[in-house]
């Protein structure tokens, strides 16, 4: 008896996905609960597991195909017997790709991000030949792209020697399965992923549906930097995590949101819904595109809780392992372009939120302090807000409050 493998419910508001890769091959035995195929949604990657044991009888949706909830991905034969060899219907290129992947994973301890793995598989590369520059030498998408630029578009497969023919004796060039593009190719088309298409759509929606305005200020980071320098060793020994800037800004944002609740609200038809909780989204520029996982009830978290959770979310984002629950909701967002060197920007709102804080690069600049010009480590901050419910005065004072809390971090402790 055959049982369909269908696209399951993928979470709130998620209706479509793209097939990334099949973990199992046609004709291969599968156990109940074993992962069969990996999908990419607009929010996170999603693994579809077998609901019954048997044999993967048929693959109906191939990598890069878009699918919707309820569509049939393939079929499992509950009474089938696994083939000694991979099914003849499996594409030769897929067999080669899967064999190379198993060989790489079994014989080495190479760490590869999901998107990098997809590029490696698609170009029939050996991960052992690529130098990883990510955390713990993990191979990233950029590493694979750089390898392709310097070593050609993929590795040539074994040359097939032409067989003697009594019909056509004209000399023929050796055949290869990969054609290297000419050096003067100036364009190439890359299909947008589901996530990238969703990001593009949401950015346009945010600008079309809200009256976005941005106000700026600058913050002297000297005191926070001094506290970090003085406390970093004891903090790490006690909590096992480094003390960064994230916890200071999350706490400062919460302090400002408590004083200006309209920035922690949203519009629903003709109503303003004020949130009495603080779920802070942290924008992360992952390989597959921007994601915004959420710190739930961040006002109840300690500095160590925030630093630890942010670190875990960044790792999950880069590995494509964020869950839908970790990406759902949020009442306010923080984005840090400074980690990439941005000096100033105007962040775009993350609907239905009405406020987003932009952090930027810390740079030493001459400033006037008590009538004297001194050099201080300064950061420009930006608040983009929905002018429909947040007035300019509120927005400016909100950013001033963050400035005060960061420049005098003891207040963060005194005010809780």
Active-site position among 105, 297, 391, 408: 391
Domains of the chain, first to last: 2-77 (2.40.50.100), 92-151 (4.10.320.10), 197-414 (3.30.559.10)
Nearest to 112 by CA among 64, 147, 73: 147
CA 221/CA 363 separation, integer angstroms? 9
Residue 15 Ramachandran class (φ > 0 left, ψ -120 to 50 alpha, else beta): alpha
CA 35/CA 116 separation, integer angstroms? 20
* pLDDT value of position 225: 95
Q: Which helix (H) or strand (E) holds 230?
A: helix 222-239
Confidence of residue 109 (pLDDT cuts 50, 70, 90): low
Contacts of 66 (CB under 8 A, 6+ apart): 16, 17, 18, 194
Q: Per-residue pLDDT tens for 176-212?
A: 444 445 555 788 888 787 778 878 888 888 888 899 9
User: Contact at 8 Å (CB) between 213 and 395?
Assistant: yes
Q: Which of 104-118, 136-150, 273-287 has the lowest mean pLDDT?
A: 104-118
For residue 68, the cross-strand partners are 16
* pLDDT exceeds cutoff 70 at 309: yes
Q: Is 387 a catalytic residue?
A: yes
Our CA angle for 290, 255, 402, nearest 5°, is: 70
User: Contact at 8 Å (CB) between 7 and 39?
Assistant: yes
Active-site position among 66, 299, 305, 387: 387
φ, ψ dihedrals at 376, nearest 5°: -130, 150
The CB-side HSE value for 371 (13 A sphere, CA atoms) comes to 0
Rounded average pLDDT over 231-240: 94
Rounded average pLDDT over 236-255: 95
* pLDDT value of position 95: 39
CA 25/CA 45 separation, integer angstroms? 20
* pLDDT value of position 415: 64
CA 364/CA 375 separation, integer angstroms? 6
* pLDDT value of position 313: 94
CA 314/CA 372 separation, integer angstroms? 41
Q: Per-residue pLDDT tens for 82-104?
A: 665 544 344 433 434 444 446 44
* pLDDT exceeds cutoff 80 at 413: no
Q: Per-residue pLDDT tens for 23-35?
A: 988 889 999 888 8
User: Contact at 8 Å (CB) between 361 and 269?
Assistant: no
Confidence of residue 237 (pLDDT cuts 50, 70, 90): very high
Q: Which of 19-33, 136-150, 309-323, 390-404 has the lowest mean pLDDT?
A: 136-150
**Residue showing tokens 């971090």:** 409
**Rg (the chain; Cα; Å):** 26
Q: Is 109 a catalytic residue?
A: no
Confidence of residue 164 (pLDDT cuts 50, 70, 90): very low
Name the percent of the chain lying above pLDDT 70. Answer: 82
* pLDDT value of position 152: 53
Of the chain, the end-to-end C-alpha distance in Å amounts to 62
DSSP state of 243: -
* pLDDT exceeds cutoff 80 at 235: yes
* pLDDT exceeds cutoff 90 at 368: yes
Is the omega angle on the peptide bond into residue 211 within 30 degrees of 0, that is, cis?
Answer: no
* pLDDT exceeds cutoff 50 at 276: yes
* pLDDT value of position 337: 93
Confidence of residue 329 (pLDDT cuts 50, 70, 90): confident
Cα→Cα distances 413→222, 248, 249, 404, 416, Å? 18, 10, 13, 13, 5
Q: How far is CA 46 from the centre of its chain?
A: 13
Confidence of residue 332 (pLDDT cuts 50, 70, 90): very high
* pLDDT exceeds cutoff 70 at 67: yes
* pLDDT exceeds cutoff 90 at 144: no
Cα→Cα distances 344→337, 347, 374, 396, Å? 8, 10, 22, 17
Confidence of residue 410 (pLDDT cuts 50, 70, 90): confident
Q: Which of 151-165, 303-317, 318-332 has the lowest mean pLDDT?
A: 151-165
Q: Per-residue pLDDT tens for 2-49?
A: 889 998 887 666 777 888 889 988 889 999 888 899 888 776 777 898
Nearest to 266 by CA among 350, 357, 359, 358: 350
């Amino acid at each position: 008896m055959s049982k369909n493998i269908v696209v399951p419910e993928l979470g709130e508001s998620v209706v479509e996905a793209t097939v990334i890769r099949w973990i199992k091959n046609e004709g291969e035995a599968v156990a109940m609960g074993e992962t069969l195929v990996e999908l990419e949604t607009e929010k996170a990657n999603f693994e579809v597991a077998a609901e019954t044991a048997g044999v993967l009888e048929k693959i109906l949706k191939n990598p890069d195909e878009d699918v919707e909830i309820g569509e049939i991905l393939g079929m499992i034969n509950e009474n089938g017997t696994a083939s000694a060899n991979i099914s003849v219907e499996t594409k030769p290129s897929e067999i080669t790709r899967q064999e190379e992947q198993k060989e790489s994973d079994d014989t080495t301890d190479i760490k590869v991000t999901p998107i990098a793995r997809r590029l490696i598989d698609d170009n029939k590369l050996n991960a052992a030949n690529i130098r990883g520059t990510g955390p713990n030498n993990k191979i990233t998408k950029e590493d694979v792209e750089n390898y392709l630029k310097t070593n050609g578009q993929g590795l040539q497969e074994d040359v097939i020697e032409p067989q003697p023919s009594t019909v056509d004796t004209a000399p023929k060039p050796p055949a290869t399965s990969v054609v290297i593009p000419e050096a003067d190719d100036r364009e190439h088309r890359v299909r947008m992923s589901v996530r990238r298409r969703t990001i593009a759509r949401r950015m346009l929606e945010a600008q079309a549906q809200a009256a976005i305005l941005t106000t700026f200020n600058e913050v002297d980071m000297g005191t926070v930097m001094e506290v970090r320098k003085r406390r970093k060793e004891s903090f790490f020994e006690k909590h096992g995590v480094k003390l960064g800037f994230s916890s200071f800004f999350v706490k400062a944002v919460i302090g400002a949101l408590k004083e200006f609740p309209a920035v922690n609200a949203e519009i629903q038809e003709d109503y303003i819904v004020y949130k009495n909780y603080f779920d802070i989204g942290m924008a992360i520029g992952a390989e597959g595109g921007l994601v915004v996982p959420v710190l739930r009830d961040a006002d109840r978290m300690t500095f160590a809780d925030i630093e630890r959770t942010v670190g875990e979310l960044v790792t999950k984002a880069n590995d494509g392992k964020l869950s839908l629950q970790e990406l759902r909701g949020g009442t306010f967002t923080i984005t840090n372009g400074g980690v990439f060197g941005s000096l100033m920007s105007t962040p775009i709102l993350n609907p239905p939120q009405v406020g987003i804080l932009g952090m930027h690069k810390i740079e030493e600049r001459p400033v006037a302090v008590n009538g004297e010009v001194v050099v201080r480590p300064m950061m420009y901050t930006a608040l983009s807000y929905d002018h429909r419910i947040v007035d300019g005065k509120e927005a400016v004072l909100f950013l001033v409050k963050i400035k005060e809390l960061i420049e005098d971090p003891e207040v963060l402790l005194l005010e809780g």
